[in-house]
Amino acid sequence: MRYIRALNILFDRLKMNFTENPDRRPQRSIPVVKPELTGFLSDKSQAIWFGHSTVFIQAEGKTVLCDPVLTKLFWLFTLVTGKRFTDELPVTVRDIPRVDILLLSHDHYDHMDYKTIMALKDKVNHYCVPAGVGMRLEKWGIDKEKITEFTYGETLEILDLTFTCTPSRHFSGRRLNDRNKTLWCSWVITGKKTNLFFSGDGAYGPHFKLIGDKHGPFDITFLECGQANDFFGQIHMVPEKAVQAQIDLKGQLMVPIHWGMFSQSNPNWTGQIERLMLEARKKGVPVATPRIGEIVTIGDDNYPNRQWWRDYR
């Protein structure tokens, strides 16, 4: 029964995504910014959104790469997402400097990409992952000594940064028969002067206020803002709820993620960010809207806020 249900879910997703919607994708390819990473390690903490949920962070001189997908996605996954919205990526694996911490929120293909992780293998000092994901990395040949697994509430201090595994409302699995065999999570990254939150994937829930009360306020948050419709409503966050999550977290500046690179649902591709911006204006929530590959300086009031996607609708 479990396999039949999984196959039915996959069929429903394929049927939904192949249903014609001319606004599901941009009318033309979205250009990317090619960041200069040689100067990324500056005296100011910075972050770069590489599209979807891949974020590269420089926090107090340490580099943290979150949910990296820097190659073509696994072919089966692209049956659901379709092609990227960009003809190229802002960086290649070769461009990435040494990574102090590689952070994973869960094991889905669009967050834990085998080809990217293997190509980065010799550049990564340590991996912080939710429970069960470490075993996957070990099977891929990653040194067990470099991996720390977490359950909710557990922390690790490394290189003067503290990583705390916090809850998320999502699920995990890479095959039809391994659903929820590993944990999924969000992350708090705390330095001496900087406090950040990375949501990974997940629907809205009371955990955001609990995280905000215990670990906030946050200088910057990276929050998923879309791909949620009736089908995904219990595992992804609708834009209006992302704004509420930011308020619950006591976040100072939000960078929306999980949009702008793939289509995992059938609504208009700009609808999620437009709804988020409208709700953010109503609630007085500051939102940075960097182009893919554009640097955001953490703690700087001068952040990118142009609604660039309107040029590609």
Report yes or no on 24 lying in a domain: no
Domain containing 110 equals 36-312
Q: What average pLDDT does range 277-297 have in this prediction?
A: 97
The whole-angstrom separation of Cα 289 and Cα 112 is: 24
Is the Cβ–Cβ distance between 64 and 189 less than 8 Å?
yes
Is the Cβ–Cβ distance between 270 and 310 less than 8 Å?
yes
Taking only the tens place, the pLDDT of each residue in 174-228 is 877 888 899 999 999 999 999 999 999 999 999 999 999 999 999 999 999 876 5
Q: What is the CATH number of the domain that holds 203?
A: 3.60.15.10
Report yes or no on 110 lying in a domain: yes
Spell out where 228-273 has E strands: 254-257
Report yes or no on 29 lying in a domain: no
Is the Cβ–Cβ distance between 102 and 126 less than 8 Å?
yes
Report yes or no on 21 lying in a domain: no
What confidence score (pLDDT) does residue 25 get? Answer: 80
- Number of domains the chain contains: 1
The whole-angstrom separation of Cα 293 and Cα 31 is: 10
Report yes or no on 258 lying in a domain: yes
Of 255 and 175, more confident: 255
How would you classify residue 51: left for phi > 0, otherwise alpha for psi between -120 and 50, otherwise beta?
Answer: left
Of the pLDDT bands very low, low, confident and very high (cuts 50, 70, 90), residue 231 is: low
74 in helix, strand or coil? coil
Taking only the tens place, the pLDDT of each residue in 138-187 is 999 999 999 999 999 999 999 999 999 999 999 888 877 888 899 999 99
Spell out where 96-208 has E strands: 99-103, 124-130, 147-150, 155-158, 161-166, 186-190, 195-198
Largest Cα–Cα distance of the chain, in whole Å? 56
The whole-angstrom separation of Cα 223 and Cα 256 is: 5
Report yes or no on 13 lying in a domain: no
Report yes or no on 10 lying in a domain: no
pTM of the model: 0.91
Is the Cβ–Cβ distance between 6 and 175 less than 8 Å?
no
Only one residue has tokens 């293998």, namely 121
